[in-house]
Amino acid sequence: MARIRPEIPALQNWLVALRREIHRHPEPAYGETRTAGLVERTLRGMGLPPRTGIGRTGVVGLWRADRPGPCLGLRADMDALPVQEALDHDWRSTVPGMMHACGHDLHTAMLLGAARVLADDSRYSQRLAGAVKFIFQPAEEEGAGALAMIADGVLDDPPLDAIFSAHVNPTLETGQVGYTPGPAHAAVDNFHITVTGRGGHAAHPELADDPLAPAAELVGRIRSRSAGLDRALVAVCFFQAGTTTNVIPDRALISGTVRSLDRSARERALDAIRAAAAEAGAGSPCDIQVRLVPGYPILRNDESMTQELVRLAGAVVGAPNLVFQAPSYGAEDMAYFLDKVPGSVFGLGCRRPGDHRPAMLHSPRFDPDESVLALGVELFVTLAESFLSPSG
């Protein structure tokens, strides 16, 4: 049983109502205007004047203790996914084709909960020294909202000394906390390959330069060359050519991702794609062009900050409920914050006890245990107490 301060369970109904209101009205990257408005009004009602329009639709709230000291950043993401919800709850999405399938509604609610705990009790401001910056970020799923907020000065005035973020995780049971020191989320690069030949009639393939043959060979060569790469993963996810059954197309398009956990692994994976393209093009009259588009960088949790997180979380949930998580090949743009400020992303289990086949993140049936909200609030407040303690 987690050790949660008594004022937090008293907020559970409020937290659930907040989460469900956000869930009913999911919004895409940089379209989080309704969610940002809810965050703004809620912070203002707590006596924490918000800064809006940070990173376009981001919101920042600042809580200050009575004495000066360090500034701790706590971050939640607000955007939803283009997923059609398959559940039939009363609080299901009202927006066709959009859903909070990655828990950002939970993240936003629990961060507002932490702000309320600190703002409602003057003993925190009397006892602590420094400030907590509550960062409500747009566009995590795509669009690099963290980078946009950094460009608008979210790390300044006052400057951050540390930053933390939580992410719900249905592979962990509610009450468990996941941690990963060092590289925790992969960098992601997109690749786009165009194979250009000369189209023609299907009855006369000898008069055409068919791009399908080298393109199909290229997909196989990418897979064989990238198989077994250490700390990197290459996936071909898109193959398109032609529009009908009796026309040999002029070109074929191939796209996919490279996910890597260190720079050398990234270069090995990109080299594998380039080599596969050269091999597939050898002896072919078709032209093969490879375009690489960098995406989110590797997310590296600061090891000392993660160690402190583990110590604090262990006191809340107990050591048996601390779970080491292997690095994920999923990308996370909290990486941009952690490139500038030491901190850590941690996992919050949201799987109900006894549920052995929970829907995963990004699933249209993702249905997290809402009791995770109280634990998220507790851990955020615990982090604030630790980092802003004058004796710490």
Complete DSSP assignment for 146-202: HHHHHHTTTTTTTTPSEEEEEEEEEEEETT-EEE--EEEE-EEEEEEEEEE-B-EET
pLDDT digits (tens, 9 = 90+) for 61-119: 999 999 999 999 999 999 999 999 999 999 999 999 999 999 999 999 999 999 999 99
For helices 372-387 and 303-317, angle between their N-to-C axes, nearest 10 degrees: 120
Q: What is the pLDDT of residues 135-175, one digit of tens each?
A: 999 999 999 999 999 999 999 999 999 999 999 999 999 99
- Please provide residue 45's backbone torsions phi and psi, each rounded to the nearest 5 degrees: -65, -20
Residue 391: per-residue pLDDT: 79
251-269 pLDDT tens trace = 999 999 999 999 999 999 9
pLDDT value, residue 392: 61
Among candidate residues 388, 392, 379, the one with its CA nearest the CA of residue 178: 379
Instruction: Write the CA distances from 350 to 82, 84, 286, 353, integer angstroms.
Output: 22, 21, 51, 9
List, for residues 345-359, the tens digit of each pLDDT value. 999 999 999 999 999
Percent of the chain residues past pLDDT 70, beyond the cut: 100
Topology of the domain comprising 187-294: Alpha-Beta Plaits (3.30.70)
Is CATH 3.40.630.10 correct for 9-183+298-387?
yes
Torsion of CA 259, 262, 267, 272, to 10 degrees: -50
DSSP 328: B
Model confidence at 38: pLDDT above 80: yes
| DSSP letter, residue 321 | G
pTM for the full predicted model: 0.95
Residue 222 has pLDDT above 70, yes or no: yes
Residues 6+ apart with CB under 8 A from 373: 12, 15, 16, 19, 106, 109, 110, 113
Residues 6+ apart with CB under 8 A from 253: 192, 193, 194, 195, 238, 239, 240, 241
Among 140, 190, 131, which Cα is nearest to 165's? 140
The Cα 141–Cα 105 span in angstroms is 13
As a three-state string, the secondary structure of 93-110 is CCCCCCECCCCHHHHHHH
Question: What DSSP letter does each residue of 30-56 carry, written as one string?
Answer: T--HHHHHHHHHHHHHTT-PPEEEETT
User: Domain residue spans in the chain?
Assistant: 9-183+298-387, 187-294
> Please, which pLDDT band fits residue 2 given cuts at 50, 70 and 90?
confident
Measured between alpha carbons, how far is 342 from 370 in angstroms, rounded to an integer? 29
Q: Please give the positions annotated as active site.
A: 296, 370
**Percent of residues in the chain assigned helix, strand, coil, to nearest 5:** 35, 30, 35
Q: What is the arithmetic mean of pLDDT over 378-384?
A: 99
- Say if residues 145 and 138 touch (Cβ distance below 8 Å): yes
Radius of gyration of the chain (CA): 24
Residue 382 has pLDDT above 90, yes or no: yes
CB 176 within 8 A of CB 371: no
What distances in angstroms separate CA 333 from CA 12, 220, 363, 380, 387, one per listed residue?
29, 31, 20, 20, 24
Integer Cα distance of 178 and 344 in angstroms: 11
Percent of the chain with pLDDT over 90: 98
d(CA 205, CA 135): 59
Hey, what amino acid is at 357? R
